[in-house]
Amino acid sequence: MNEMMLKYGCNPNQKPSRVFMKDGSDLPIEILNGRAGYINLLDAFNSWQLVKELKEATGMPSAASFKHVSPAGAAIGKPLDEIERKTYFTGDKPLSAIASAYARARGADRMSSYGDFAALSDECDEDTANLLKVEVSDGVIAPSYTPKALEILKTKRNGNYTVIKIDPNYKPAPVETKDCFGVTFEQGRNEVKIDAAMLANIVTDNKALSKDAINDLILGLITLKYTQSNSVCYCLGGQTIGVGAGQQSRIHCTRLAGNKADVWYLRRHPKVLALPFKDDIRRPDRDNTIDVYISDTPEDVLADGNWQLYFKSRPEALTAAEKKEWLKTMSGVSLASDAFFPFGDNIERARRSGVAYVAEPGGSIRDDNVIATCNKYNMVMAFTGVRLFHH
């Protein structure tokens, strides 16, 4: 099959809508369940490229959680520790590597992952299907599915959950095109290979780039390759913890991603882990409540008449002082940027979220200022020489 008709395009008024192969060959995907939409497929194809490259770069099963053609999170399949199991709500049962990868990708930003499209580098197994079953998600793309996993996924969303199988050997043409305003654009595909060699040009006084930092920076750079620009990504422990996408200003990317990283870290605070939620609270409501609880307006959920909606008993507030002290313990974070930092203010903001390692293309007329700011905080920064804009 070389053509698939879609319900509509980006919006219901945009009809007709379809995907097809210009050369007449078969589409590289098979819809095993549900019906994929226009945005679903954009998410599916971009997220699949991300996890495929991440698996090739790290040798580990990889997953991504996509929303509106940018990743809310991406991760490799490292085992979850006790705190991660609590913050990602996976229960105590050990998970397979690919299930762990998805739990960590989804857990990077659970608010943004609401209604995501999931991508898996490896076969979707029963563990992963059971995670997807309980989350609000629009669909999943993977190279294959176990019979049990497919059976589980077919019960989701009243049987309408979108399940896509992709040919892992499919290779697109080296030149790609797209239309805008009736005009066709053409460019070579971005086939740049992201690996440790890209981090060899360390421009700061501190040149001690750890193996874990190298892996995190590779993860960040690959993530940015499929994130709407401008974009900045914070990573720690083999997962993204904050992605700032589609901002017009670099500092706004850095702030947005940094704020998300802070929220990710604050979710690990003992007071958050001990919140006495009601047993029957819905998962999205729990995520929303946690987000408000650790925000600047916790009274929205702790006020009289409100806390009873979510909690068995009224919890103590997480004070501004407590949050500030907790965030001071955040360390070892890696930061990647899809284009150069024009000012040192990006580094100043990144430092507040525990950043110790930075990768960016370099090439700004103010590179010396950015390098000096990194040196001030004993950070390690590598100039990759490669811009990763994605539109």
Q: Does residue 68 have an active-site annotation?
A: yes
The sheet with strand 355-360 has its strands ordered as: 29-33, 162-166, 137-142, 116-120, 62-67, 70-76, 239-245, 231-236, 333-337, 355-360, 380-383
CA 266 distance to own-chain centroid: 18
Catalytic residue selected from 67, 156, 225, 269 = 67
Give the residue from 239, 280, 238, 287 showing the smallest Cα distance to 263: 287
β-pairing, 116-120 vs 137-142, is: parallel
Q: Does residue 252 have an active-site annotation?
A: no
- In this structure, the chain runs to a length of 391
- The answer for residues whose C-beta is within 8 angstroms of residue 81's C-beta and 6 or more apart is none
Give the residue from 341, 374, 124, 102 showing the smallest Cα distance to 240: 102
Per-residue pLDDT at 299: 80
Per-residue pLDDT at 306: 87
CA atoms of 384 and 199, how far apart (whole Å) = 6
Give the residue from 222, 230, 235 showing the smallest Cα distance to 192: 222
3-state class (DSSP) for residue 250: helix
Per-residue pLDDT at 51: 98
CA 200 distance to own-chain centroid: 25
- Which stretches does DSSP call E strand in 143-270? 162-166, 175-180, 183-188, 231-236, 239-245
Per-residue pLDDT at 13: 96
Backbone angles phi, psi at 331, to 5 degrees: -155, 165
Mean pLDDT by 10 residues, the chain (391 residues): 92 95 94 96 98 97 97 97 95 94 97 96 98 97 98 96 97 95 96 96 97 97 97 98 96 97 98 96 94 85 89 94 97 98 96 98 96 98 97 93
Structural domains in the chain?
Answer: 3-166 (3.40.140.20), 175-266+327-383 (3.40.140.20), 270-317 (no CATH)
Backbone angles phi, psi at 175, to 5 degrees: -115, 130
Per-residue pLDDT at 295: 86
Q: Does residue 269 have an active-site annotation?
A: no
Per-residue pLDDT at 93: 86
Q: What single letter denotes the amino acid at residue 371?
A: I
Per-residue pLDDT at 220: 98
Q: Is there a contact between 61 and 76 (Cβ–Cβ < 8 Å)?
A: yes
Catalytic residue selected from 46, 230, 260, 269 = 230
Per-residue pLDDT at 298: 77
Give the residue from 24, 51, 35 showing the smallest Cα distance to 164: 35
Q: Is there a contact between 64 and 43 (Cβ–Cβ < 8 Å)?
A: no
Q: Does residue 378 have an active-site annotation?
A: no
